[in-house]
Structure 1
Amino acid sequence: MAGNIKIALVGNPNTGKSTLFNLLTGLNQKIGNFPGITVDKKLGYCKLPGGRQAEITDLPGTYSLYPKSKDERIVLQVLADSNNPSRPDIVVVVADATNLRRNLLLYTQVADLGIPTILALNMTDMAKKEGIDINIHKLSERLGVQVVPISARSNTGINLLKQAIDNTTSIATQAEGADLHLMAPEAIEAARELLKTNNNYLALQMLHQHEPLNIFSSGEHAALEQIKKTHHFESSKLQAAETIARYRYLGTVLSGVIEDTGAVRKFVISDKLDAVLTNRFWGFLIFIAILFFVFNSIFSWSTYPMDMIEYAFVWLTEYGHQHLPDGLLTNLLLDGVLAGLGGVVIFIPQIAILFAFISILEDTGYMARVTFMMDKVMRKFGMSGKSVVPMIGSLACAVPSIMSARNIESWKDRIITIMVAPLVSCSARLPVYTLLISLVVPQKMLWGFINLQGLTLMGMYVISILAAVFVAFIMKFIIKAKEKSYFIMELPVYRMPRWTNVLYTMYEKSKTFVFEAGKVIIAISIVLWVLATYGPSERFEAIDKKYAAIEAKKDSSQVSTLERDKAAERLENSYAGILGHVIEPAIRPLGFDWKIGIALITSFAAREAFVGTMATIYSVDNDGEVATIRNKMKGARNPDTGLPVFTFATAFSLMLFYAFAMQCMSTVAVVFRETKSWKWPVIQLVYMTGMAYVASLIAYQLLK
């Protein structure tokens, strides 16, 4: 093959396909969408030994080309449509060497589509440990393709795979699989003529499932339906017959290829661990203990790096004020952009720790156990075990979690999951929680090892999860559907996490958090700084005259605080201050003042904007002293009572508001995109905002 080539990675879930993708592409990858579809497209690039560049697409994991979910449907859509811009020149099928027979079912289907194919046998090191010996040469000879033994986790065989890709011809060399032409020869022949293809299996697949594919015109869809009707094409029976034929064919292929001396002890360790970790009592107890450890670590381990980042921004602000010329541009840069950005960057250590733990739990296979363990519980509340994946994923971000709900076959389960997933506290709420907790919860250790702040943080996450489950239970009775849902999932063998993968995840997610949140924060900080610096000219003129008169009198009792009082009064009469005062009557019963009101408005774009807004407001409202955002907020006083603004009652009320409110435009957009209707995001926005207000009101009135 001359020039650059397109490669698609295809494989069952839990075969290490995504790990291989990361190894091949490194940091040279991006996330987009498949054309005309909302499903994520992971695309990356790598250099081949011959000097060519390979464009690699990581297709969604699937057990066969007969999809059970939206994501799985993409695999056939990309491979079957010769006009699809993502259609590969070569398919690399990634198979689990410890479970080869089942994995090869998908391989035979992909190979029969007639695209040049390579079989990458992953986890060969684990197969050897389990006593499974595979004759690679014999398997390659029988399949007619290059078979490459690799281990993505230990980074072995990757160069051999690149070499195999480089050596692959543009002509498919794979041997023909099970003879499927005899199943419905007349229908297949008619479909071949209609679709102008020589490939029997492609014609068969289009007869089975052309309806959900957007690659045909309405006339072609009608013609395919007519062929099925004319030739009495019974799809479900033929699919079952195909599966039996393929497994019979694989029995012949694998005869004498696999020698399994460890069949008895194959999954003994995993089974023993599962007996404890998925136990009805101990399993839940261990899960809660793991969650507690995670949140305790987020506070305990991040203290020093956060302090360093915080004081670095204070030093930068001081240095800027000392060395840059006075003026609006300097103030905008230091008190607007830098202050807002500092409010985001400071939380990188906590975000990195959170994603590191999520990556470790997924990599070890434990997250799959949590999904299995929670299935019975979730069904009582109107969801399935598969709903746990989006729910747990929402600890990181609700947007990809809502998209991952496509794997839930039941429409009702999927809608309920989408509607409640944003209630689970995401990483964007983490900066809000940690800032407020650090203000009102003492940094104490209970019994010498439990961090009180970490315990409070875990409490906020538990509250959000309980709220999501409660709302799901209510929706179970409101949303009606006739279909029943089933939970089928393969539990992977326990493995040690691949630490390079964990580090890569920490880096990638932290970078995404900073750049995605950073863009919003900088934009909001600039707008907010302008709104907080300027106001109606008559108001500002009156303030200038008032303080000029005080200064002229040289009243010693007032001169010392003159600049601070003037700055505070200008802020209160600025456009931002006026906006805050407009909504203050509505939020005063929650314990919030007009400054917090401004933050509530700005953070409807993104929750983490709360911290940047507070940083900007308290930087504009200062007396020349540069201090950390926490110190500024800790020192804030109510002008009427002289008491601290951020009391325990106010802070807890504010945390509950952020725990429940739908303050993320990206989530609203993705719910609309996934449901194809404004009905669901509007309902979500209304019920979550109402919940946030009521919970915040009750909390403040009880605690004040």
Structure 2
Amino acid sequence: MHVEPKKKLLRIALVGNPNSGKTSLFNALTGLNQKVGNFPGVTVDKKTGILAIDETLKAELIDLPGTYSLYPRRADEWVAYKVLMNADKDVDADLIVLVADASNLKRNFLFCSQILDLKRPVVVALTMNDLAIKKGIKIDVAGIEADLGVPVVPVNPRKNKGLAHLRKVIGMVAKKQNSVPLRDFVDNKSVAPKAIESVQQIFPQLSDYAAIHYLINHENFPLTPQQQTAIENIEIENNFNPTKTQAEEILHRYRRIHQILQKNVVEPDPLEQKLFTNQLDNILLHRFWGYIILLAVLFILFQSIFWLASYPMDGIEWIFTQLSNFLSNNLPEAWWSNLLINGLVAGLSGIMVFVPQIMILFGLITILEDSGYMARISFLSDKLMRKVGLNGKSVMPMISGFACAVPAIMSTRNIENKKERLLTIMVTPLMSCSARLPVYTILISLVIKNTYYLGFLSLQGLVMMGLYLLGLVMALIVSTVMKRFVKVNEKSFFILELPIYRAPRWKNVGITMVEKAKIFVRDAGKVIMVISLLLWFLSSYGPGKEMQQIETKYQQLIQQQPSESVALQRELASQKLQHSYAGILGKTIEPVIKPLGFDWKIGIALITSFAAREVFVGTMATLYSVEEGNEDISLREKMQQAKYADGSKVYTLPTGLSLMVFYVLAMQCMSTLAVVKRETRSWKWPAIQFVYMTGLAYVMSLIVYHIF
């Protein structure tokens, strides 16, 4: 009888510097066997995946947040630190896989050397080897392996190279379980010999280097009160100075790293690469020209969104108009055909027409990130950000907010200072996210003439840029006011690594564009479709008695005046919409929004937009389709022709501008409020955010409407 060998589940911690290829390796090793949760007690993503090492061994791979050294400052660095120090009750790793960037070994080896001195089983995965070759760097892997005293495996996760060998080495180390470096990377004991020995008497299992960390950070470890007191007494008796010890230890490490690299790595003269980067930085980071270039880059970005997207958008709009026309001519008149044309197709057109703009926006942002310019934007804006209570690192989340506030708010975790992080979270939703883009586009095309200045400056593009800048300026003003009320006293640092300039990876740009389009269609699309179908129902049905009376009245009028049947049918549709459930809801809130120049239909769109801002367009598509019943013309033309009872146009310049300003400033996104609650661990801040943004939107829209 054959007995299957029992599979043991090993726990492996995956660690490394930020941007070292750690996420790519995690994805390549685990494939689709991934889960994302939260580390207990902190809002830091916990990514875990199952890795099959061999037939008898499976492992849970835990992707720890990226960190530069074993001296944590941010919440996510503390998570990685506690796991590495065996001080996390929930995550106990049997083995560490350390990811090191082959093109930047000097920086990566600081963290690597610190982990080696904790005396835990380690395997080093060497990534970015192709980039190192391009830079002309030659690495003696066997020599580095001998000097570090642990296995070193070159891998390329993007091309699945070296992964089988890495699995094999992990399996060998896991089965030995004692595969730890035999010697210290540096002489740790020399920095505080007596204090280290005293700590090791209490905790005999600690290495010299782990003992240093117990002296520096014991307050953050799960120790008994007696153990805490004993360590504090050791510090006092030995005049232990954490800052001096840390500095001394890091200097020792860099000396040893320098020796290892000199022996095992051949690098080309870095001067040529540096010269090019420095020359470019002299221009792009110039005190005056740097800001002019930055404004020009942003200007081109927003002009391109309009200019490049106009043709595919027109094409998609034409396809859906033809489809609606075809269906209305070929389907029988019934409730289900009405649902299909005015609910499903109208809702779908409201999603698909904006895909080109979203793809272009994300494509251009990815080019800025890949080329190395995005980090320069942070550097340029640090001085301005400090004046309003933020710092240069706030710029990345704020710029990401132009795409979507949810991941942007989550990315504030790399801001060490609590006050600056909270202020960044509070103002990031004022950045005009891609969900607002469909609203801006349709309103700008309705009320702003398509004129060009100097033959290439689009007035519509300038207005679009103005809306984005309005959000940015208001964010800076709000932050200036809020910094007086948020009481957190903590030192602020701005340390940023400026990457070298390089050509964007066009494949990466393409993948990002397709992925973001998919996410928009799938996530926003689901919400838009559900709300479009719900709206179709609310707009097509109402209190039975009233609807029946209107139907009877107009059927009689059509019989009496058959020559006026088309006009009467349109009037019937309009009356039914006004007396439907949606119409009643809109009419109820109309007195509140009338001072802003909005009618009851816009009121319905404002309410549905709380699910997602882009729903505005789907709402309008459904409302006007139900009312007009004319499929030959596009939504834009239907809104253009919309009139009040007295014959005046609904969408005038003051109304259009007022509505755009409202959408720039209002908090109309349930997902954003949910993520703010998650990041701040309180309902207080999302409640404040909702109140201040809605109030600000109302007041500014009122001012704009009455000025124009």
- Identical positions, percent: 49
Alignment partner, residue 377 of structure 1: 384
2:173 is the counterpart of 1:165? no
Task: Find the aligned partners of 2:504 and 2:95 in 1 and give their Cα distance.
Answer: 30
Task: Find the aligned partners of 2:605 and 2:482 in 1 and give their Cα distance.
Answer: 31
Q: Which moved more, 1:662-671 or 1:545-554?
A: 545-554
What is the CA deviation profile of residues 486-544 of structure 1, one whole-angstrom value per residue up to 9, with x for unaligned ones? 21111111122222222222222222222221222223223222221221222212212
Task: Find the aligned partners of 1:650 and 1:434 in 2 and give their Cα distance.
Answer: 15
Q: Deviation of residue 250 (structure 1)?
A: 2.9
The 1:541–1:280 alpha-carbon spacing in structure 2 relative to 1, beyond 3 Å, is same
Task: Find the aligned partners of 2:121 and 2:161 in 1 and give their Cα distance.
Answer: 19
Of the candidates 55, 58, 66, which is equivalent to residue 61 of structure 1? 66
Q: Deviation of residue 48 (structure 1)?
A: 7.7
Whether the 8 Å contact between 2:331 and 2:337 is mirrored in structure 1 is: yes
Whether the 8 Å contact between 1:186 and 1:231 is mirrored in structure 2 is: no
Q: Deviation of residue 82 (structure 1)?
A: 8.8
Q: Deviation of residue 674 (structure 1)?
A: 1.9
Q: Deviation of residue 318 (structure 1)?
A: 4.1
Residue aligned with 1:119, SS: strand
Whether the 8 Å contact between 2:7 and 2:58 is mirrored in structure 1 is: no
Whether the 8 Å contact between 2:324 and 2:341 is mirrored in structure 1 is: yes
2:203 is the counterpart of 1:192? yes
Of the candidates 572, 575, 600, which is equivalent to residue 594 of structure 1? 600
Q: Deviation of residue 571 (structure 1)?
A: 0.8
The 1:37–1:657 alpha-carbon spacing in structure 2 relative to 1, beyond 3 Å, is same
Alignment partner, residue 650 of structure 2: 645
Whether the 8 Å contact between 2:200 and 2:206 is mirrored in structure 1 is: no
2:151 is the counterpart of 1:146? yes
Give the TM-score taking structure 2 as reference length.
Answer: 0.89
Alignment partner, residue 398 of structure 2: 391
Alignment partner, residue 543 of structure 1: 550
Whether the 8 Å contact between 1:105 and 1:246 is mirrored in structure 2 is: yes
Q: Deviation of residue 271 (structure 1)?
A: 1.0
Residue ranges of structure 2 left out of the alignment (5+ in a row): 1-5
Q: Deviation of residue 594 (structure 1)?
A: 0.2
Task: Find the aligned partners of 1:630 and 1:259 in 2 and give their Cα distance.
Answer: 63
Task: Find the aligned partners of 1:50 and 1:311 in 2 and give their Cα distance.
Answer: 56
Whether the 8 Å contact between 1:130 and 1:263 is mirrored in structure 2 is: no
Q: Deviation of residue 411 (structure 1)?
A: 2.2
Whether the 8 Å contact between 1:130 and 1:265 is mirrored in structure 2 is: no
Alignment partner, residue 409 of structure 1: 416
Whether the 8 Å contact between 1:131 and 1:263 is mirrored in structure 2 is: no
2:283 is the counterpart of 1:276? yes
The 1:270–1:41 alpha-carbon spacing in structure 2 relative to 1, beyond 3 Å, is farther
Task: Find the aligned partners of 1:515 and 1:85 in 2 and give their Cα distance.
Answer: 34
Q: 1:319-338 residue pairs with structure 2 within 5 A?
A: 319-321=326-328, 326-338=333-345
Task: Find the aligned partners of 1:593 and 1:264 in 2 and give their Cα distance.
Answer: 65
Whether the 8 Å contact between 1:339 and 1:615 is mirrored in structure 2 is: yes
Residue ranges of structure 1 left out of the alignment (5+ in a row): none
The 1:590–1:227 alpha-carbon spacing in structure 2 relative to 1, beyond 3 Å, is same
Alignment partner, residue 178 of structure 1: 186
Q: 1:6-25 residue pairs with structure 2 within 5 A?
A: 8-18=13-23
The 1:437–1:190 alpha-carbon spacing in structure 2 relative to 1, beyond 3 Å, is farther
Whether the 8 Å contact between 1:187 and 1:231 is mirrored in structure 2 is: yes
2:43 is the counterpart of 1:38? yes
- Paired residue type of 1:664: C
Alignment partner, residue 304 of structure 1: 311
Task: Find the aligned partners of 1:83 and 1:530 in 2 and give their Cα distance.
Answer: 53
Q: Deviation of residue 180 (structure 1)?
A: 3.5
Q: 1:119-130 residue pairs with structure 2 within 5 A?
A: 119-128=124-133, 130=135
Q: Deviation of residue 238 (structure 1)?
A: 4.0
Task: Find the aligned partners of 1:291 and 1:22 in 2 and give their Cα distance.
Answer: 33
Task: Find the aligned partners of 1:628 and 1:55 in 2 and give their Cα distance.
Answer: 53
- Paired residue type of 2:166: A
Of the candidates 688, 699, 703, which is equivalent to residue 694 of structure 1? 699
When the two structures are aligned, how many residues end up with a matched partner? 690
Q: Deviation of residue 422 (structure 1)?
A: 0.8
Q: Deviation of residue 185 (structure 1)?
A: 3.2
The 1:76–1:323 alpha-carbon spacing in structure 2 relative to 1, beyond 3 Å, is farther
The 1:210–1:426 alpha-carbon spacing in structure 2 relative to 1, beyond 3 Å, is farther
2:109 is the counterpart of 1:104? yes
Q: Deviation of residue 366 (structure 1)?
A: 0.9
Of the candidates 61, 75, 78, which is equivalent to residue 80 of structure 2? 75
Q: Deviation of residue 142 (structure 1)?
A: 1.5
The 1:456–1:43 alpha-carbon spacing in structure 2 relative to 1, beyond 3 Å, is farther
Residue aligned with 1:256, SS: helix
The 1:326–1:503 alpha-carbon spacing in structure 2 relative to 1, beyond 3 Å, is same
Task: Find the aligned partners of 2:67 and 2:284 in 1 and give their Cα distance.
Answer: 26
Whether the 8 Å contact between 1:117 and 1:172 is mirrored in structure 2 is: no
Q: Deviation of residue 370 (structure 1)?
A: 0.8
Q: Deviation of residue 584 (structure 1)?
A: 0.7
Give the TM-score taking structure 1 as reference length.
Answer: 0.89
Residue aligned with 1:403, SS: helix
The 1:63–1:340 alpha-carbon spacing in structure 2 relative to 1, beyond 3 Å, is same
Task: Find the aligned partners of 2:487 and 2:39 in 1 and give their Cα distance.
Answer: 32
Of the candidates 134, 154, 160, which is equivalent to residue 139 of structure 2? 134
Q: Which moved more, 1:562-571 or 1:26-35?
A: 26-35
- Paired residue type of 2:79: I
The 1:624–1:179 alpha-carbon spacing in structure 2 relative to 1, beyond 3 Å, is same
The 1:98–1:73 alpha-carbon spacing in structure 2 relative to 1, beyond 3 Å, is same
Task: Find the aligned partners of 2:634 and 2:621 in 1 and give their Cα distance.
Answer: 9
Alignment partner, residue 476 of structure 2: 469
- Paired residue type of 2:584: I
Alignment partner, residue 3 of structure 2: none
Whether the 8 Å contact between 1:191 and 1:207 is mirrored in structure 2 is: no
Task: Find the aligned partners of 1:312 and 1:5 in 2 and give their Cα distance.
Answer: 54
- Paired residue type of 1:225: Q
Whether the 8 Å contact between 1:181 and 1:188 is mirrored in structure 2 is: no
What is the CA deviation profile of residues 379-402 of structure 1, one whole-angstrom value per residue up to 9, with x for unaligned ones? 112111111111111111112222
The 1:237–1:617 alpha-carbon spacing in structure 2 relative to 1, beyond 3 Å, is same
Whether the 8 Å contact between 1:192 and 1:199 is mirrored in structure 2 is: no
Residue aligned with 1:159, SS: coil
Task: Find the aligned partners of 2:216 and 2:473 in 1 and give their Cα distance.
Answer: 42
2:624 is the counterpart of 1:621? no
Whether the 8 Å contact between 1:369 and 1:491 is mirrored in structure 2 is: yes
